[in-house]
C-alpha cells in the first residue's frame, strides 16, 4: 500500500477516535420531578383535562429538562400526551399501571436512550399493598449508564413504618443493580414524593430520610433553608411542608435545587442540574470560635489578630535586647528599716550628696526622719492614687455596660413589638384571605391561594424571628 495513504488513514482514524471520545463525554443533565396528584382535581373545574395536560407540559418544558420524574398521574395515556407536549425527542421510558390508583401512577420521561425499565409496587404488609410505588429505568448518558427511579411513598400520617419499609425496598433494588456485571450503572438518581421532611422525621423518629443518607445519597435541598424547600402547598388540614425530593449518590454532582409552585397541582416542581462527570463534595465541619465567618475570631478579622501578635512579638524582643541590666545591691544606697534590714534604694544623686556631707553612705536618724514624710507622700500619690484611679475606671466601665444593657433591652422590646405587630397583621391577612378563598369564584381562587401562601410564609418568618429574639 502507498505510504501516503497509510499516513492519511492513520490520521483519519485518530480524528475519528478523538471525535468519538468527545461525543461520548456526558453533558450535565437537567432533572425535573413533579407530583401531579391533584392534576384532575384543580380549582378551575371549567378547564378540560386536555388543557390541563397542555399547561403542565408547558410548565415542564420551560425548565428545559433532560429527564422528568412524574408521580400521581391518572394513567399511561396522560404520560404519553405530556411527553408529546415536551417535544419530539421525549418519550415515555416507563409508566406504572398499579392496581391501587388512589395515589396515581409513577412515570419517567426522557430524551436519553434507555435500556431496562419496569414499574414496581411496594411490598405487601399483612397482605395489603401500600399505595404508590416506583418506576425504574437505565438511561445512557454519553458512554455511561445511569439508573433513575421515580418514587411515590405512602402519604398517610400513620404510614411511617410503611415509608421506611418502602425505602429499604428501594435501596435493596439499588444495591442489586450496582452489582451488575453488564451495563452496570455508574450513578444512581432518586426523585419523587417521600411525604416526610427533616423536622417531622426528627419529631417522630422516622428514618426514611436517614436510610437514604446512610446509603450515600445526597439531597438537592442540602444547602437550602426551610422556606426555600417547601414543595407541598398548605391546606386547611395540613401545613406547607417538604414532600418532594431529588437525590444523587457519589456518582455525580447535584447542584442546589429550585422549587417552582404551580397552580395545576398542590406539589411544586423541583428542578436541579446534575453533572455525571463531577463528584459530590465531602462536607467537612468548620470550627469557628465566634463571628460571622471562619475569617473572624471574636468579631475581629484574623489578619488583625496576626498583625497584633506580630507587633507584640517584636516589642518583646526589643525589651529583651535593650533592657537595663539589674544593678547589684549596694548597702550604701539603702534605707534601713526598724529591724535593721535595707529595704529601699536611694537614687544616685541623693546617695552622693549624703556621702559628701559626712562621708558615711548610710543615712543618719535625722536624715531618715526627714525622708520618711516624703516617702509616705510618694506612696500616697502613686500607690493609693493608682488604686483610686483604677476604681473610678472600673465604676465607669460598669456604668457604661449597664447603659448598653438597658439600651439593648429597649431595642429588643421595640423589635418584639414590631414583630408582634407583623404577626397580628399577617394573621389578619391570612384569615381575610381564607374567608375570600371560601367565598371566591373559581377564576379568582388560585390568585387568592397564591396570596395566602405568601402571607403564611411571612407569618412563619415573623414567628421564627420573634422566637429568635426571645431566645
Percent of the chain with pLDDT over 70: 75
Task: Give the strand pairing for 67-73 and 29-35.
Answer: parallel
pLDDT digits (tens, 9 = 90+) for 55-65: 888 889 999 99
With 50 as the cut, is the pLDDT of residue 291 above it?
no
Mean pLDDT calculated for residue range 68-86: 92
Check residue 119 and give its pLDDT.
94
Under CATH, which number does the domain 25-275 receive?
3.60.10.10
Portion of the chain with pLDDT greater than 90, in percent: 28
pLDDT in the model for residue 138: 96
Phi then psi for 213, rounded to 5 degrees?
A: -65, -40
Give me the helices (H) in 128-253, please.
160-177, 198-204, 208-214
pLDDT at 200: 85
Q: Which of 185-189, 199-203, 354-358 has the lowest mean pLDDT?
A: 354-358
Q: Does the structure show a pLDDT above 70 at 299?
A: no
Of the two residues 323 and 154, the one the predictor is more confident about is 154
Q: Which segment of 183-187, 388-392, 426-430 scores lowest on mean pLDDT? A: 426-430
Least confident window among 120-129, 267-276, 381-390:
381-390
pLDDT of 316 reads 86
CA neighbours closer than 13 Å in the CB half-sphere of residue 361 = 13
Torsion sign (Cα): 194, 186, 80, 87: positive
pLDDT band, residue 444 (cuts 50/70/90): low
* pLDDT confidence band for 52 (50 / 70 / 90): confident
Instruction: Give the pairing of strands 253-254 and 296-297.
Output: unpaired
- Angle at 356 (CA atoms; ends 351, 361), nearest 5 degrees: 45
For the segment 5-33, the average pLDDT, to the nearest whole number, is: 57
Amino acid at each position: 500500500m502507498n505510504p501516503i495513504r497509510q499516513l492519511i488513514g492513520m490520521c483519519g482514524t485518530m480524528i475519528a477516535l478523538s471525535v468519538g471520545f468527545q461525543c461520548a463525554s456526558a453533558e450535565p443533565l437537567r432533572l425535573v420531578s413533579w407530583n401531579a396528584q391533584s392534576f384532575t382535581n384543580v380549582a378551575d373545574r371549567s378547564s378540560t383535562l386536555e388543557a390541563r395536560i397542555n399547561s403542565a407540559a408547558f410548565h415542564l418544558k420551560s425548565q428545559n429538562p433532560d429527564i422528568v420524574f412524574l408521580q400521581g398521574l391518572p394513567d399511561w395515556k396522560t404520560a404519553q400526551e405530556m411527553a408529546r407536549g415536551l417535544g419530539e425527542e421525549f418519550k415515555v421510558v416507563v409508566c406504572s399501571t398499579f392496581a391501587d390508583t388512589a395515589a396515581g401512577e409513577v412515570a419517567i420521561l426522557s430524551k436519553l436512550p434507555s435500556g431496562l425499565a419496569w414499574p414496581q409496587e411496594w411490598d405487601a404488609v399483612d397482605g395489603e399493598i401500600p399505595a404508590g410505588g416506583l418506576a425504574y429505568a437505565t438511561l445512557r448518558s454519553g458512554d455511561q449508564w445511569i439508573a433513575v427511579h421515580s418514587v411515590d411513598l405512602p402519604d398517610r400520617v400513620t404510614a411511617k413504618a410503611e415509608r421506611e419499609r418502602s425505602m429499604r425496598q428501594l435501596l435493596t433494588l439499588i444495591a442489586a443493580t450496582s452489582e451488575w456485571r453488564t451495563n452496570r450503572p455508574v450513578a444512581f438518581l432518586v426523585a419523587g414524593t417521600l411525604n416526610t421532611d427533616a423536622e417531622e422525621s426528627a419529631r417522630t423518629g422516622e428514618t426514611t430520610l436517614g436510610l437514604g443518607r446512610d446509603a450515600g445519597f445526597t439531597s438537592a435541598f442540602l444547602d437550602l433553608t426551610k422556606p426555600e424547600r417547601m414543595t407541598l402547598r398548605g391546606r386547611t388540614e395540613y401545613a406547607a411542608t417538604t414532600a418532594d425530593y431529588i437525590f444523587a449518590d457519589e456518582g455525580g454532582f447535584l447542584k442546589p435545587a429550585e422549587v417552582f409552585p404551580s397552580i395545576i397541582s398542590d406539589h411544586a416542581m423541583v428542578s436541579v442540574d446534575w453533572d455525571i462527570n463531577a463528584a459530590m463534595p465531602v462536607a467537612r465541619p468548620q470550627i469557628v470560635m465566634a463571628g460571622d465567618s471562619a475569617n473572624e475570631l471574636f468579631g475581629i478579622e484574623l489578619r488583625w489578630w496576626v498583625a497584633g501578635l506580630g507587633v507584640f512579638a517584636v516589642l518583646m524582643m526589643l525589651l529583651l535586647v535593650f533592657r537595663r541590666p539589674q544593678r547589684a545591691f549596694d548597702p550604701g544606697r539603702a534605707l534601713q528599716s526598724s529591724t535593721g534590714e535595707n529595704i529601699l534604694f536611694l537614687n544616685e544623686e541623693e546617695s552622693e550628696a549624703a556621702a559628701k556631707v559626712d562621708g558615711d553612705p548610710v543615712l543618719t536618724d535625722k536624715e531618715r526622719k526627714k525622708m520618711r514624710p516624703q516617702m509616705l507622700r510618694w506612696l500616697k500619690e502613686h500607690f493609693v492614687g493608682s488604686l483610686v484611679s483604677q476604681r473610678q475606671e472600673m465604676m465607669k466601665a460598669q456604668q457604661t455596660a449597664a447603659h448598653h444593657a438597658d439600651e439593648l433591652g429597649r431595642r429588643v422590646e421595640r423589635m418584639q413589638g414590631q414583630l408582634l405587630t407583623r404577626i397580628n397583621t399577617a394573621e389578619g391577612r391570612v384569615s381575610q384571605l381564607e374567608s375570600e378563598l371560601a367565598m371566591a369564584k373559581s377564576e379568582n381562587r388560585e390568585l387568592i391561594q397564591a396570596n395566602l401562601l405568601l402571607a403564611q410564609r411571612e407569618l412563619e418568618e415573623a414567628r421564627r424571628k420573634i422566637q429568635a429574639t426571645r431566645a
